Structure 1
Amino acid sequence: MITSAHICYESNKTSLELKSLGTLIEQNTRWKTMPTEWSDCGIVIPQLIVLTPTPFIIQVENDPEWVPEENKEFAEWAGLSDDDELSLKLSRCDARLAIQSTAPDQITLTGKEIIAFAFGGAVDPRNSDISNVLAIIGKEISGVLNDCVNEDLFQY
């Protein structure tokens, strides 16, 4: 799935579980949440669906092999200097929440190639209902939002 946004955070300062995240959302918004999972090739990834008018999925990404480096790249893509406050905060983030669409990517196998269509499945983090949920989460975990749809980066 294509990620529409990330909320990056420091895992040593925030113990985060999807169940508690669902409770936080339900206590602070009018939206319900529902646990789900993605699975393929023996891999199972727990997820949380947030039932806003445009539903979206949240999943934890905390693999130390690649998440911290990718988080640092967000600052580079935003053109921040290494000593910028936001860049420094991102460099300390070792985990993130991936915000994704509930619409599956369309994949076509032709026998010679794999064609993936991911357009139209993006969740817009600037949508007021979605933005409100992301802000509640971001403030709770002192996170940094990387908005992949609108190419924006900011700290809660």
Structure 2
Amino acid sequence: MPYDILVNLIAAFLAFIIGFLWKDYISKKIADFVYRGIKINGTWRAIEKEITAKGYKLAYPSIYNIELFQKADIISGIVKAEFGKEQIEVVSYKVQGTIKDRFVSLSLKLQERNRMAHINFLLEIVGNGETMIGYMTFYGLRAKEINAIEVIWKKTSR
């Protein structure tokens, strides 16, 4: 009788471990291996246009330096945004997103706890995959409203 309980516990433990490995590791490796879509891994640089969708003129368009990592259609990474006249104010974001049918959707989460920022990108991959064009939506703290601005992303390295 105690032997049966021990065998059942070991079997349950092994099933749990195999399920955990399958869900969090093996299935992701298989998906990345069979993925045949566009790869956007690497370093990117994004620059904002000077006028927002609501017609506001930016005094100093921001520059974004992005490091993207891709596993199948899941994207993650880090963004360093440079703001201000001399681009000396640097803010870091964590990136999460997806890619499907040449369209990239990204959400940026601020890594600092003492600031508030909400940013999303919807981008289209154009040409040979070295450029993405689209819009960034954001909450403007000064205007206290949601706004959008056109951005152009250029790949700087693989």
TM-score if structure 2 supplies the norm length? 0.24
- Structure number with greater CO (CA < 8 Å, separation at least 6) is 1
Larger relative helix fraction = 1
TM-score if structure 1 supplies the norm length? 0.25
